[in-house]
Amino acid sequence: MPQWQLIALAEGWTRPPLTFHEFGMSQKRWSYQQLTQSAETAITNYNEMARNVRMDGDPVGVASMFHQRAIGALETWRDLTMGWQENDDDARLTALAMQSSSVNI
């Protein structure tokens, strides 16, 4: 098991939902709002994980991995919603994802 997973288990972290079923979606039909909420939740959870590991001194550089996952969630959302994005959601989610890189503990 990778070092970051051992740390996560020892600290009792829970992972963000990774499947649409975990978000309560039972069919393969997702609205723009569901995709956006899913991305926002994942980004927020990864930011929190990055903050937590930074508070513990980040002995193996795990915060950077969580930041990259937040960026990955953002990029996946962008790919899925290309041409359908609304209400400055891209700017809002981008700012949210970048928070994980700027947290100074």
Is 17 within the bounds of a domain? no
In the prediction, which pLDDT does 58 show?
77
Q: Is residue 13 part of a domain?
A: no
Structural domain containing residue 47 = 31-82+89-105
Please tell me the pTM assigned to this model. 0.70
Q: pLDDT by residue for the chain (105 residues), tens digit each? A: 555 566 666 666 665 545 555 556 566 678 899 999 999 999 999 999 888 888 888 777 888 889 999 999 999 999 999 988 998 999 999 999 998 666 543
**Residue 77: both structure tokens together:** 């959302």
DSSP string, 71-100: HHHHHHHHHHHTTT--TTHHHHHHHHHHHH
Residue 15 domain flag: no
What total number of domains does the chain contain?
Answer: 1
pLDDT at 52: 87
The answer to whether residue 99 sits within a structural domain is yes
Q: Is residue 23 part of a domain?
A: no
